[in-house]
Amino acid sequence: MVKGGLEDKVLEIIKSSGEEGVVQSELWGQLNIDSREGSRIVMKLVKSGLVTRVPVVYKGRKTYKLVYVSRQPNSIKLLIKLNPVMTIPCFLCKDLDKCSLGSYFNPLICNKLTMYLLEKSKYS
């Protein structure tokens, strides 16, 4: 059997086992290969990110369960509220791009920013 073909077969068995995964020793038995050859193949799949190894106790012995890693990206929903930020006068200032220390528009002497900070410090 060609190694690439064996790797494909190993991956297909792991993939078809679903979220439950398959115990390494059971996989070796299904494919009639020794643990040394099987471990090499599995480590290639783990390094490529296709498979994860989960430690388990199977028939009283420590071993690994092999689980296929889905390539589907997880969707993450972020709720970002900009309302608090938009009250900072700098974000609405037409001169923001010219504002810097030492220039004509200077945050250290800005009346709008000073009033905002004084107002916020009342509530702290």
1 band by pLDDT with thresholds 50, 70 and 90: very low
Q: Indicate the helix (H) or strand (E) that contains 119.
A: helix 111-122
Closest to 53 measured CA to CA, from 27, 72, 89: 27
Q: pLDDT tens across 40-75, in order?
A: 999 999 998 899 999 999 899 999 999 999 876 666
Task: Name the architecture of domain 3-68.
Answer: Orthogonal Bundle (1.10)
List all residues 6 or more positions away from 6 whose beta carbon is below 8 Å from its beta carbon: 31, 33, 41
Domain with CATH 1.10.10.10 in the chain: 3-68
